[in-house]
Structure 1
């Protein structure tokens, strides 16, 4: 459970940092690319085996890291936009409500059994992330940004499902750090290529805010994935339980951080969602 708690903590920090980007005028795309370089460096630093760049493409999980790298940079940009335009709580809810996808994957592909209490807990979890994200009617939201949380939901669900699949079938425990580093390296390379193509006629300038923001984001980003991989090795809880507890706890914690740090308004329904989140976590964990 320690690994799961650490994954929740570092994942929640990501949403807070995204919110800080908008407050301190950090350019998201540049910071995200720096973040992946830092996260890759962290993965290589914590990897205890011998590193041979030539051998990495021969790893059975290598092609999966390329797909994840693309999804990481795409979904991270969507998460940042959602945090800045709709709030930290909405971004975290859209991301973590995607728990439905890996849970269904575990049930139908790996034949994981769900008892009555777990099913009730998962249903309550989905209700919790909805109610925790409901905004007051007085807050107006542009129609153009409504699609953001939907895309975040789908992208996050595919990422979690892919991580579970690769962890289950291809990635050895000793290679978790190397696997994570390779995913982050792929995301960084894709991001750099995107910038070079987009700004081929516009010179790039180094902005210390973007670099510092990327460093601050890269460290918790690495640990959020690393500890999730470690948590998925749990012999007591199946992946459906892990993803449910992880995602709902992140919603609850990041919503509370949004209230404390950014004075985000929270309604009675939001508090109800937090209470449901706690109940769902207890049901899934104790069933």
Structure 2
């Protein structure tokens, strides 16, 4: 939830930095988007309500918001469109290298064995993430939409599709509130698109 609610950070930064407009219809759409995230991922699981790890969602919220903001800044100030593929490749190579180092440290410290399935799982997650970064950069470059429109639409699409995928692929039970959140996220995409 914290990662998707963080869309508010790059949206707010886009107003002074890139001159994005903030008409009432866009504010309504973004408010619907934030509300839909909470509904879509709402759960009664008491383990998730423990106060001991309260700082993790805060770190995730700030970190994800800053990453999205820096991605747009990098695209608009530091890169030209011919560099998107190279930038995405270097970004994921560095992330993969850091992940490998951390995995080796954990394996040595806990005497865990190397498992090829873990590497394959990393690749399976990495390929769509690479594509999402690359195509988000392309969207910033070629779309007529402001980034304060692109971020909410992107995040709401991810929220709705991941909830539906969990329901279809993993038979995850969705409550009435979760379904309402999916519906509101689709409504939010429509409202923001007309902003």
- TM-score w.r.t. the length of structure 2 is 0.89
Distance 1:204 1:134, change over 3 A: closer
Distance 1:274 1:200, change over 3 A: closer
- Correspondence for 1:214 among 122, 145, 151: 122
2:145 aligned counterpart, secondary structure:
coil
Distance 1:286 1:185, change over 3 A: same
Report the equivalent of 2:160: 252
| Counterpart Cα distance in 2 of 1:125 and 1:253 | 14
Distance 1:126 1:208, change over 3 A: same
Report the equivalent of 1:111: 19
Give the paired residue count: 193
- Correspondence for 1:128 among 36, 42, 52: 36
Kindly report which structure 2 residues correspond to 1:110-259, keeping only aligned pairs within 5 A, or say none.
Answer: 110-136=18-44, 139-142=45-48, 143=50, 144-197=52-105, 205-259=113-167
Query: Is 1:280 matched up with 2:188?
Result: yes
| Counterpart Cα distance in 1 of 2:142 and 2:66 | 21
Q: Deviation of residue 217 (structure 1)?
A: 1.6
Q: Deviation of residue 222 (structure 1)?
A: 0.9
1:135 aligned counterpart, secondary structure:
coil
| Counterpart Cα distance in 2 of 1:222 and 1:102 | 20
Gapped regions of structure 1 (runs ≥ 5) = 1-92
Aligned-residue CA RMSD in angstroms? Answer: 2.1
Report the equivalent of 1:21: none
| Counterpart Cα distance in 1 of 2:158 and 2:91 | 22
1:141 aligned counterpart, secondary structure:
helix
The answer as to whether partners of 2:107 and 2:113 remain within 8 angstroms in 1 is no
- TM-score w.r.t. the length of structure 1 is 0.62
1:259 aligned counterpart, secondary structure:
helix
